[in-house]
Amino acid sequence: MTEATRTPLLSMRGISKRFGGVEALVGVDLEVHRGEVVALVGDNAAGKSTLAKMVAGVLTPDAGLIEIDGVPVTIPTPAAAHALGVATVFQELALCDNLDVTSNLFLGRELRDGRGARDDERMEQVARQILRDLTSRIPTVRVPLSHLSAGQRQAVAIARTLIGSPRLVVLDEPTASLSVAQTAEVLVHIEGLRDLGLGVVLISHNMTDVRSVADRVEVLRHGRNNGSFDARSTGYEHIIAAITGASRAATPRPVPLRS
Amino acid sequence: MSTTTDVNVPSPTPPGTPRVPLGQRLQGLGGNARQYGIFGALVVIILLFQVLTDGKLLLANNVAALFQQNAYVMILAIGMVMVIVAGHIDLSVGSVVAFVGGVVAVTMRDPIGLPWIAAVLVGLAVGAMVGAWQGFWVAYVGIPAFIVTLAGMLVFRGLALVIVGETLAGLPPAFIRISKGSLPPWLNYVGNMDGVTLVIGALAVAAIVLTQVRARRSLRRHDLHVEALGLFVTKLAAIAVGIGILTVILSFSAGGTPIVLVIVGVLVVAYSFLMGRTVFGRHIYAIGGNRSAAALSGVSTRRVDFWIFVNMGLLAGVAAIVTTARAGAAIAAAGQNFELDAIAACFIGGAAVTGGIGRVSGAIVGALIMGVLNMGLSILSVDPAWQMAIKGFVLLLAVAFDLLNKRRAGTQ
Ligand SMILES: Nc1ncnc2c1ncn2[C@@H]1O[C@H](COP(=O)(O)OP(=O)(O)OP(=O)(O)O)[C@@H](O)[C@H]1O
Ligand SMILES: [Mg+2]
């Protein structure tokens, strides 16, 4: 790959974070290049979302260095992340049920007209355009989020990453509640982002999705890097082994409650 | 129906399919259906008391008095609805009214003896500072607003007692006119009707029709969804008739347009714009709907919280000026239960206890519903004790009705 020799779009080195007694991340490295989809996988509580939230400006690392396009950055707030060209779909979606689709799409980054006033009309036009392109099954952009299904809400969350031309898109389990058809659509969408030259971090538990769209798979285990694999050439079982930390996956046994 | 222009509506119902039930259609109007409901309740209550009082309710001087007596609730309810939408509450506004009233009176009287305009500005500044104080604890320290403003209720009542003692009377007549006066009769009378009032009413109707028509035209130009033409015209006609009737009645009153009505009117327009059309307003709703989502989206929730309380303090300052002018004196016990009046107005006006929902216009209508109840019951010489009980029931019924409606509509 020629990109590998260039400056990575995102470079995280030696990232550590602890929450009280929990070591969520210990010296984690992660690199994402332009036009590359990096899947971040790992067991529950491996630290994937914690890492994503650092790029999104929600959490700050205790130690380590973050560089974007070779420039060392601190990302103290979500607004700072947005200014740096990072767009994130959070695992918890981060949508306001009382606001309509348009308001949610532009929340925190509302468009203003020439006089600095909120430009509702332009926002609604852009919202309709985006949702049409995503062929989402959302009836109108004026419907409040509380009226949408889980899948529709997830579509809105993904659509948010299209606002304001980002360089890096972080998706934390974006297909968790999507139908087969919609999941396929999101995967196509991710490929579209890659073709546009964006960097994508995809966090997912679904190995089929990961292998169909990712270029590289990074495994986290107990907050540490536990292997980096070429998505296409590496066998399924190798990745699973790195995730579980064993070549033979332990089978959970029922625990007898009474003897 | 103007479905031809509704580009973003799925596909228009093919002919022959069953009609959408009314409930669903109303739901399609979004928050508007609820808003219309509140207006409807106000109209019903006005008509009810108009009949019960043999037409005394809408006598010119009673209508003028209605605004003069309830201006403080409306002013406080505007700030309170913003506080409530953001998911907070403010229990201190009554005490703040007494405190700021004391400050204003002290600055106007000897030995300070500032001109009344200067005293008014001092009062507004002190109100905003009180708000900043409470906003600091809520937004930056993270103490729940209920606790901060409960403390504020005690603190500022105490400070009011310290400043005012019992009563500070003898305020300048120009200051007292703020609440008791009306706009001067700059124009001639038309028959018995005050020309100034008629002109203001006509201008208000013209301004509303013009802005609504322009907004609608702009939506259509951008190919966006607009409400059906029939509904739009009906709505505008209802507004025009309502303001027209109010104008004509007021023009027969002793003074014409009360000055406080102008103050309230300006505040309603300004704050409706702030809540409905600005980024700051959008962020208030977002915070009330889902605080952590707003924060993750890059809304600076602390800054918004802080300014909401600064604004509440400022409006409490306005209410203090109006209240002090009306009493003609600063009284340490002033503003008792004002916080409850304001909170009740917001909830009657459709604000949600959980935050995220509520409108300035709703809060104003809520305040008017309570004001009409007060006045109607007083005209009927109902015992004040019973008046209180009845108002309590109305608050409970209004919120219960709202909840039932919401459940039936299937939202949340
Ligand atoms: N705000 C927090 N406070 C305390 N502990 C936290 C916090 N956020 C995460 N943790 C802890 O950090 C660890 C990593 O959590 P994280 O959410 O990053 O896992 P994850 O890999 O995203 O898991 P999942 O696949 O279940 O989403 C967990 O042990 C979790 O309990
Ligand atoms: Mg996670």
Q: Look at A98-112, B176-190, B330-344 and tell me which has the smallest mean pLDDT.
A: B176-190
Q: How far apart are CA B20 and CA B1, in angstroms?
A: 13
Q: Measuring CA to CA, which residue among B44, B22, B79, B26 is closest to residue B345?
A: B79
> In terms of CA atoms, which chain A residue is nearest residue B28?
A143
B298 interaction partners in chain A (CB closer than 8 Å): 57, 77-79, 81-82, 107-109
CA-closest residue to ligand 1 atom 19: A45
**Residue B11: what pLDDT?**
34
Q: Give pLDDT tens digits for A178-204.
A: 888 888 888 988 998 898 899 999 999
**Residue B7: what pLDDT?**
33
Q: Measuring CA to CA, which residue among B279, B365, B323, B275 is closest to residue B84?
A: B275
Residue A258 forms part of a structural domain: no
Residue A123 forms part of a structural domain: yes
> In terms of CA atoms, which chain B residue is nearest residue A106?
B297
Position in ligand 1 atom list of the atom nearest CA A50: 18
Whether residue B58 lies within 8 A of chain A, CB to CB, comes out as no
Segment A59-82 shows an average pLDDT of 93
The domain of A143 spans 10-244
Q: A110–B224: do the CB atoms touch at under 8 Å?
A: no
Q: Which two tokens stand for residue A236?
A: 């399924």
Residue A255 forms part of a structural domain: no
Q: Which two tokens stand for residue A31?
A: 């690199």
| pLDDT value at A249 more than 50 | no
Range list of H helices, B143-194: 145-164, 173-180
Residue A4 forms part of a structural domain: no
Residue A70 forms part of a structural domain: yes
Other CB atoms within 10 A of residue B50 CB: 15
| pLDDT value at B16 more than 90 | no
Whether residue B214 lies within 8 A of chain A, CB to CB, comes out as no
Distance A70 CA to ligand 1 centre (A): 28
Relative orientation angle of helices B31-52 and B360-379, to the nearest 10 degrees: 10
| pLDDT value at B160 more than 50 | yes
Cα angle, residue A44 at apex, residues A38 and A48 outer, rounded to 5°: 35
Q: Give B115 to chain A, closest Cα distance, Å.
A: 37
> What sign has the CA pseudo-torsion B342, B347, B350, B353?
positive
Q: B296–A146: do the CB atoms touch at under 8 Å?
A: no
Distance B288 CA to ligand 1 centre (A): 26
B85 interaction partners in chain A (CB closer than 8 Å): none
Q: What is the mean pLDDT of chain B?
A: 87
Interface test with A, best of B13, B20, B279 (most A CBs within 10 A): B279
Residue that wins the pLDDT comparison between A96 and B25: A96
Q: Which two tokens stand for residue B198?
A: 């008629």
Segment A27-33 shows an average pLDDT of 94
Distance A237 CA to ligand 2 centre (A): 22
**Residue A24: what pLDDT?**
92
Segment holding A80, helix H or strand E:
helix A78-83
Single-letter residue type at A29: D
B239 within 8 A of B208, measured Cβ to Cβ: yes
Q: What is the mean pLDDT of chain A?
A: 87
Q: Give pLDDT tens digits for B282-339.
A: 999 999 999 999 999 999 999 999 999 999 999 999 999 999 999 999 999 999 999 9
Q: B293–A120: do the CB atoms touch at under 8 Å?
A: no
Q: How far apart are CA B218 and CA A121, in angstroms?
A: 8
Nearest CB to A110: which of B282, B285, B293?
Answer: B282
Segment B391-409 shows an average pLDDT of 81
B10 interaction partners in chain A (CB closer than 8 Å): 139-140
Residue A257 forms part of a structural domain: no
Q: Which residue has the tokens 């030259």?
A: A197
> In terms of CA atoms, which chain A residue is nearest residue B280?
A118
Segment B238-256 shows an average pLDDT of 89
Nearest CB to B299: which of A93, A98, A108?
Answer: A108
CA-closest residue to ligand 1 atom 22: A49
- The pLDDT-based confidence of B21 (bands split at 50, 70, 90) is very low
Q: Give pLDDT tens digits for B126-158.
A: 999 999 999 999 999 999 999 999 999 999 999
B289 interaction partners in chain A (CB closer than 8 Å): 96-99
Q: How many CA atoms lie within 13 A of A40 on its CB side?
A: 28
CATH classification at residue A20: 3.40.50.300
- The pLDDT-based confidence of B49 (bands split at 50, 70, 90) is very high
B283 within 8 A of B295, measured Cβ to Cβ: no
**What is the pTM for the complete model shown?**
0.89
Q: What are A22's strand-pairing partners?
A: A19
Residues in chain A: 259
- The pLDDT-based confidence of A5 (bands split at 50, 70, 90) is low
Q: What's B241-261 look like in SS3?
A: HHHHHHHHHHHCCCCCCEHHH
Segment B402-412 shows an average pLDDT of 67
List, in order, residues 6 or more apart from B263 with CB less than 8 Å away.
B71, B75, B178, B318, B322
Segment B52-75 shows an average pLDDT of 93
**What Cα–Cα distance (Å) separates residue B241 from each residue in A96, B111, B209, B245, B401?**
37, 51, 12, 6, 27
By CB atoms closer than 10 A (0-12, 13-18, 19+), residue A248 is: exposed
- The pLDDT-based confidence of B409 (bands split at 50, 70, 90) is low
Q: What's the complex ipTM?
A: 0.87
Rg (CA), chain A: 19
- The pLDDT-based confidence of A116 (bands split at 50, 70, 90) is confident
Q: Which residue has the tokens 């019903």?
A: B44
B285-288 own/partner pairs: CB under 8 Å, 24+ apart: B285/A96, B285/A98, B285/A99, B285/A103, B285/B85, B285/B356, B285/B357, B286/A96, B286/A99, B286/A103, B286/A107, B287/B86, B287/B87, B287/B355, B288/A98, B288/B84, B288/B85, B288/B86, B288/B87, B288/B354, B288/B355, B288/B356, B288/B357
- The pLDDT-based confidence of A242 (bands split at 50, 70, 90) is confident
Residue A5 forms part of a structural domain: no
Nearest CB to B224: which of A99, A103, A124?
Answer: A124
Q: Give B222 to chain A, closest Cα distance, Å.
A: 7
Q: How far apart are CA B134 and CA B90, in angstroms?
A: 9
Q: Give pLDDT tens digits for A118-167.
A: 998 899 989 988 888 776 678 788 889 988 888 888 888 988 988 888 99
Residue A10 backbone dihedrals phi, psi, to 5 degrees: -125, 130
Distance A243 CA to ligand 2 centre (A): 14
A104 within 8 A of A160, measured Cβ to Cβ: yes
- Ligand 1: residues whose CB is within 6 Å? A 19, 22, 24, 42, 44-50, 91
Segment B326-353 shows an average pLDDT of 93
Distance A171 CA to ligand 1 centre (A): 16
Q: What are B189's strand-pairing partners?
A: B194
- What total number of domains does chain A contain? 1
Q: What are A16's strand-pairing partners?
A: A63
Segment A217-224 shows an average pLDDT of 92
| pLDDT value at B227 more than 50 | yes
Other CB atoms within 10 A of residue A254 CB: 5
- The pLDDT-based confidence of A248 (bands split at 50, 70, 90) is very low
| pLDDT value at B93 more than 90 | yes
**Residue A12: what pLDDT?**
95
Q: Would you call the peptide bond into A8 cis, given omega within 30 degrees of 0 as the criterion? A: no
Q: Which residue has the tokens 């925190």?
A: A108
- The pLDDT-based confidence of B370 (bands split at 50, 70, 90) is very high
Residue A126 forms part of a structural domain: yes
**Residue B320: what pLDDT?**
97
By CB atoms closer than 10 A (0-12, 13-18, 19+), residue B48 is: middle
Nearest CB to A108: which of B7, B8, B298?
Answer: B298
> In terms of CA atoms, which chain A residue is nearest residue B297?
A108
Q: Give A223 to chain B, closest Cα distance, Å.
A: 23
Q: A103–B286: do the CB atoms touch at under 8 Å?
A: yes
Q: Measuring CA to CA, which residue among B105, B124, B91 is closest to residue B326?
A: B105
Share of chain B above pLDDT 70, in %: 91
Q: Give pLDDT tens digits for A222-239.
A: 999 988 888 888 878 888
Q: Which residue has the tokens 């996956």?
A: A249
